[in-house]
Amino acid sequence: MIRFEGVGRSFGEVWAVRTLDLAIAERELCVLVGPSGAGKSTILRMINRLVEPSEGRVTLDGKELRSIDPDTLRRGIGYVIQGVGLFPHLTVSANVSVVPELLGWARARVSARAREMLELVGLDPDRYGPRYPSQLSGGEAQRVGVARALASDPPILLMDEPFSAVDPVNRLRLQQEFLSIQRRLRKTVVFVTHDVDEAIRLADRIAVLRSGSLVQYDAPEALLDAPADAFIAGFLGSDRALKRLSRRAIRDWMRPARKASVDEDLAGLLCGEDPGYWWVVDGSGRLLGCLDRALAGCSEDPRRIIAAQRIEDMAVDLDTSLKDALSAMLGSSARTIPVVDGAFRLVGEIALDDIERASDRAQSR
């Protein structure tokens, strides 16, 4: 439990942080969000004593930070920054091994741990271990940064806009991968960003800051449902309803799919009594295409119809958010789209009605 009590910090005449009272629970991912100059980074850096408060105190599990030796404190806290800050003269493995070596771990343990961490962030240790930072892309470098921060298995992780310098495509991937890492490791994470979507996607709780003060501290749904003032409402954006949907995953809201096997009499289906649609799967359950009576006549060849479709564009996977599913629906002008697993096997379908239900549910709370 990290606690800020009446904390303030001034730089000359300017107060970057003012009378901050904030409690960050263990094993929670707390996101500090706000416009530039809100004091987010300053607050983050007060946790590992890179910045000292001008007034008030910060405690960790009841102990005042001031009473702990700064270097010892920092070795027990992971630190990931926007510029990554890898040491250019050390290999990737050596970079990851820095803190364990500082802590005096045995060499075998250190190298085993370095491998483990690289695998955790999705980098092959044999390929990436001997490389140098100048040989990495931005996304790869930040993965190494995260691996380095987690190497000594610290209970707390501080992240200062870690994905902001990465291109949007990779940023999304990094966020998703980080979420799955966090689900496994359950660290206490304090994450700074100015990107609202990122905050909503990742946070267990969000602390909205403005000009050095805490304006609201809530779970994302609560924040989206009831912003405390016009500023926050504006900061969250006018598409709050859509944002709410981004917290919901398809697996919770989908319905069973209307299947038809490719070995069935598909032509018969097209001419039969049922006026609806079917998702056609092969023997192992893989999705091949869609037959819709509204679009295809009785005399048409089902196989030709399926062959001409681009079913990959329509399908979504289990972990996709409802917001992205809605986007896919709009893109393919369909009111329902198939849901597949990692092997592209049909596991269900999601319809516009399901999304409305999910949205409604949130409203009524």
Partner 1 sequence: MRGSGARNPRFESPYAASALAAASLAAAGSAAAAFLPFFVLRPNRIAQGRSIALVQAEPWILAALMVLWAAFLFLELRSSRRGAAIVSVSIVALALAATGLAAPRLAGVSHVARLSLGSGFWLLGLAAYASFVVASRGVGGSPESRRAWSFASSLALVIVLGLLLASGSLDSLSIVREWGAQRAVFAAQMRRHVALTAAAVIAGGLLGLSIGGAASRGKTAKSTGFLALNFFQTIPSLALFGLLILPLAALANRFPLLRSWGIGGIGVAPALIALSLYAALPIARNACAGLEGVPPAALDAGRGMGMGKAQLFLRVELPLALPVVVAGFRTATVQAIGNVAIAALIGAGGMGVFIFQGLGQFAMDMVLMGTLPVVAMALAADAAFGSLARALTPRGLRIAAIRAGDAP
To partner 1, the closest distance from the beta carbon of 148 in angstroms equals 8
Q: What is the largest CA-CA distance in the chain?
A: 82
Residue number with CB closer to partner 1 (84 or 181): 84
Residue number with CB closer to partner 1 (41 or 321): 41
Taking the alpha carbons at both ends of the chain, their separation in whole angstroms is 29
Distance CA 327, CA 334 (A): 11
Residue number with CB closer to partner 1 (146 or 236): 146
Lookup result for tokens 């491998």:
115
To partner 1, the closest distance from the beta carbon of 187 in angstroms equals 16
Compute CA 213 distance to the chain's CA centroid, rounded to the nearest angstrom.
Answer: 26
Residue number with CB closer to partner 1 (41 or 193): 41
* C-beta neighbour count of 358 within 10 angstroms: 21
Question: Given the rule CB under 8 A, which residues bind partner 1?
Answer: 48, 50, 70-77, 79, 81-91, 98-99, 102, 132-135, 145, 148-149, 158
To partner 1, the closest distance from the beta carbon of 50 in angstroms equals 6
Tokens of 85: 């800050």
Residue number with CB closer to partner 1 (11 or 87): 87
To partner 1, the closest distance from the beta carbon of 360 in angstroms equals 45
Of the candidates 189, 126, 131, 193, the one whose C-alpha atom is nearest the C-alpha of residue 157 is 189
Residue number with CB closer to partner 1 (47 or 346): 47
Cβ atoms of 39 and 17 within 8 Å: the answer is yes
Cβ atoms of 320 and 346 within 8 Å: the answer is no
Residue number with CB closer to partner 1 (99 or 325): 99
- Strands 29-33 and 205-210 come out as parallel
Of the candidates 89, 84, 153, the one whose C-alpha atom is nearest the C-alpha of residue 120 is 153
To partner 1, the closest distance from the beta carbon of 17 in angstroms equals 18
To partner 1, the closest distance from the beta carbon of 269 in angstroms equals 59
Give DSSP secondary structure letters for 115-148: HHHHHHTT--HHHHTT--GGGS-HHHHHHHHHHH
To partner 1, the closest distance from the beta carbon of 159 in angstroms equals 11
